[in-house]
């Protein structure tokens, strides 16, 4: 990075970028739209976007790249590459192409040498990204055509000049732990975003459309050998029906009909039980329009057997 005013300007832009992301995360807690990231923010009268078509992006006002981006998952299609954890617990972010000396790869190498914090944008669905910041280039791995990336602690105060050194004070073990937990969170958000998008942000049972009351439920639970975080193993459910599904109060038959557990079906309680659960017995499940996104029948059949045994 340059010295003097250039260094100060770059640090100020990064502080503004982090503050912008923090504020936007309140409005978009699950994922941010591409349009918001592309519009970016204004700094000293100039617009500063956080993305471009390049995965490694350096706006003109910065000396070093500001963001790195992973392409979103498109169900039924493989990513160009998949970022993964290295043996030492860091994120492996692939080079731009195979040319080690490509200008964008050189930009990340410069971020490594100057300990400059970046933004990591994880694609969860076409046009939607989950940001993590600050992240740091820890080392270059030419053999894997990748950079090792760690996640640091978010600064408490972004109103003044950003001290780059203060953002990288954690131990290596702390950074590795933060990186692992961040990736788990990003993958969970990716699964949720793809499932809710596939179901048109409606509960598959009651058709409720309030996004803040919807969850992405696993058909076969996380941890099951086939409980993968893919849309055909997911259902968009409101919080009530998600809890009832997870606790085997309701099940879904292999022909995608809702079934309420017998003791609950014949119970007398009140209007919530009658209208919220009993009234959906033998109703048909809402499914995505695209056949490749619809519930996997084998997963549904296995989950239904779990429901029957629990009942």
- Residues 45-74, mean pLDDT to the nearest whole number: 91
Say which residue, 286 or 174, is predicted with more confidence.
286
- What percentage of the chain carries pLDDT values higher than 70? 88
Per-chain mean pLDDT for the chain:
88
Q: What pLDDT score was predicted for residue 81?
A: 52
Q: What pLDDT score was predicted for residue 112?
A: 94
Q: Is the per-residue pLDDT at 124 higher than 60?
A: yes
Q: What pLDDT score was predicted for residue 296?
A: 96
- Residues 34-47, mean pLDDT to the nearest whole number: 95
Residue 259: CB atoms within 10 Å:
18
- Residues 45-56, mean pLDDT to the nearest whole number: 94
- Residues 238-253, mean pLDDT to the nearest whole number: 97
pTM of whole model > 0.85?
no
For 215, the enclosing helix (H) or strand (E) is strand 214-218
Q: Is the per-residue pLDDT at 70 higher than 60?
A: yes
Q: What pLDDT score was predicted for residue 125?
A: 82
For residue range 166-218, what is the model confidence (pLDDT) as tens digits?
566 667 777 778 888 888 888 888 889 889 999 999 999 999 999 889 999 99
Q: What pLDDT score was predicted for residue 158?
A: 57
Give residue 72's pLDDT band: very low, low, confident or very high (50, 70, 90). Answer: confident
Q: Which residue has the tokens 């923090």?
A: 22
Rg (CA), the chain: 23
Where exactly are the structural domains of the chain?
5-195, 199-310
Say which residue, 179 or 43, is predicted with more confidence.
43
For residue range 247-278, what is the model confidence (pLDDT) as tens digits?
999 999 999 999 999 999 999 888 999 999 99
Q: What pLDDT score was predicted for residue 286?
A: 97
Closest CA to 49 of 30, 32, 31, 67: 67
Instruction: List beta partners, residue 56.
Output: 68
- Residues 61-66, mean pLDDT to the nearest whole number: 94
For residue range 151-176, what is the model confidence (pLDDT) as tens digits?
887 766 655 555 555 566 667 777 77
């Amino acid at each position: 990075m340059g010295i003097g005013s250039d260094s100060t300007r770059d640090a100020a832009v990064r502080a503004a970028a982090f503050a912008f992301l923090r504020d936007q995360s309140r409005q978009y807690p699950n994922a941010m739209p591409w349009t918001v990231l592309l519009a970016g923010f204004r700094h000293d009268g100039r617009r500063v976007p956080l993305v471009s078509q390049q995965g490694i992006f350096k706006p003109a006002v910065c000396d070093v790249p500001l963001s790195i981006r992973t392409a979103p998952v498109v169900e039924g299609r493989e990513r160009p590459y998949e970022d993964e954890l290295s043996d030492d617990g860091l994120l492996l972010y692939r080079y731009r192409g195979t040319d080690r000396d490509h200008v964008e790869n050189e930009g990340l190498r410069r971020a490594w040498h100057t300990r400059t914090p970046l933004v990591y944008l994880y694609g969860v669905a076409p046009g939607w990204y989950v940001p993590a910041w600050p992240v740091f280039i820890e080392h270059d791995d030419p053999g894997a055509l990748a950079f090792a990336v760690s996640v640091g602690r978010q600064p408490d105060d972004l109103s003044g000049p950003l001290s780059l050194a203060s953002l990288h004070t954690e131990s290596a073990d702390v950074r590795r732990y933060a990186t692992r937990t961040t990736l788990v969170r990003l993958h969970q958000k990716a699964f949720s975003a793809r499932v809710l998008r596939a179901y048109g942000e409606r509960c598959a049972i009651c058709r409720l459309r309030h996004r803040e009351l919807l969850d992405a439920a696993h058909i076969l639970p996380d941890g099951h050998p086939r409980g993968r975080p893919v849309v055909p193993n997911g259902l968009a459910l409101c919080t009530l029906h998600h809890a009832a599904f997870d606790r085997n109060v309701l099940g879904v038959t292999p022909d995608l009909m809702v079934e309420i557990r017998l003791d609950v079906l014949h119970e007398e309680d009140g209007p919530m039980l009658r209208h919220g659960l009993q009234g959906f017995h033998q109703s048909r499940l809402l499914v995505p329009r695209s056949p490749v996104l619809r519930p996997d029948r084998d997963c549904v059949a296995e989950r239904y057997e779990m429901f029957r045994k629990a009942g």
